[in-house]
């Protein structure tokens, strides 16, 4: 669906943030885009949506160049940036003015999502708290029923109950025709939701794997001080209270719970060995 081929992008002429980047985003998945601050996550989402223009290569959706900002493309892709602005309008007026740009907009679905998030549809947008504004724009984005939804740090500003509702809503909204790409630092907010996992570092995609592949070949093992050795190859070790937390090759039939934070730190520390092991 969304294809990035040999794409290069630079904010300054003498320094490329991305160089010959390759990435394919397929329908029917909820992609988790992880990376440190400054790795290029937000920039990549904006390039995908046509908000920023790349210098070389191609970024296409179903063969159409996103940089041309064709109505057919823009009406089927929605981005929620980390920093967003809502005009001084009522919810109703905002919906009336902006829903017309999305041919598949589902008014009934939006009403259900607004209720699910506990929002008052009669409120003015400027009177809402940051968390309430975030819930409204998430609800609106999903109700567009666009084929591609891009979200940058969507759980920032949400309280714990709202994060739970967010996960429930995203899981119910995905289907074979839709794709979500979610950039986040709050990986624990999206556990059991995102799949595949993409990790970006210094403008390079260093990891792109499905959860099934990760779980079938890697184990997440906690050991205490008295039993600090792990069976098999150890790719990464973190010291935790009372022992160690290890990422190892999987030797047994028993699947261990996946820990996104450990995986992220391990990949940044030992990219080559982990990727080679998963690809063998």
Q: What pLDDT sits at residue 104?
A: 97
126-185 confidence digits (pLDDT tens): 999 999 999 999 999 999 999 999 999 999 999 999 999 999 999 999 999 999 999 988
Q: What pLDDT sits at residue 228?
A: 55
Q: What pLDDT sits at residue 223?
A: 84
Kindly state the helix (H) or strand (E) to which residue 110 belongs, with its residue range: helix 107-116
Confidence of residue 39 (pLDDT cuts 50, 70, 90): confident
Q: What pLDDT sits at residue 229?
A: 62
Q: Is the omega angle on the peptide bond into residue 236 within 30 degrees of 0, that is, cis?
A: no
Terminal Cα-to-Cα distance of the chain (whole angstroms): 27
Q: Left, alpha or beta for 131 (phi > 0: left; psi -120 to 50: alpha)?
A: alpha
Q: What pLDDT sits at residue 136?
A: 96
* Dihedrals phi, psi of 40, to nearest 5 degrees: 115, 10
Q: What pLDDT sits at residue 253?
A: 81
208-236 confidence digits (pLDDT tens): 999 999 999 999 988 876 555 667 799 99
Domain annotation for the chain: domains and CATH numbers: 2-209 (3.40.50.300), 211-279 (no CATH)
């Amino acid at each position: 669906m969304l294809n990035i081929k040999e794409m290069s992008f630079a904010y300054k002429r003498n320094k490329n943030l991305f160089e010959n980047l390759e990435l394919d985003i397929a329908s029917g998945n909820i992609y988790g885009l992880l990376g440190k601050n400054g790795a290029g996550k937000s920039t990549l989402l904006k390039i995908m949506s046509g908000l920023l223009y790349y210098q070389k290569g191609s970024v296409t959706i179903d063969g159409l160049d996103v940089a041309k900002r064709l109505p057919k493309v823009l009406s089927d892709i929605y981005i929620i940036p980390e920093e967003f602005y809502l005009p001084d309008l009522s919810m109703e007026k905002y919906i009336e003015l902006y829903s017309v740009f999305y041919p598949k907009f589902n008014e009934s679905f939006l009403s259900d999502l607004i209720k699910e998030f506990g929002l008052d549809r009669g409120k003015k947008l400027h009177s809402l708290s940051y968390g309430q504004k975030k819930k409204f724009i998430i609800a609106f984005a999903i109700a567009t029923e666009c084929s591609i939804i891009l979200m940058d740090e969507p759980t920032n500003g949400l309280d714990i109950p709202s994060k739970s509702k967010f996960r429930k809503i995203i899981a119910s909204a995905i289907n074979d025709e839709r794709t979500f790409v979610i950039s986040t630092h709050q990986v624990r907010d999206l556990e059991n939701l995102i799949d595949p996992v993409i990790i970006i570092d210094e403008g390079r995609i260093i990891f792109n794997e499905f959860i099934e592949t990760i779980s079938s070949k890697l184990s997440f093992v906690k050991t205490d001080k008295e039993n600090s050795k792990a069976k098999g190859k150890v790719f990464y070790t973190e010291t935790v209270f009372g022992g160690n937390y290890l990422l190892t090759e999987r030797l047994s039939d028993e699947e261990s719970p996946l820990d996104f934070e450990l995986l992220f730190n391990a990949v940044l520390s030992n990219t080559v060995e982990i990727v080679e092991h998963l690809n063998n």
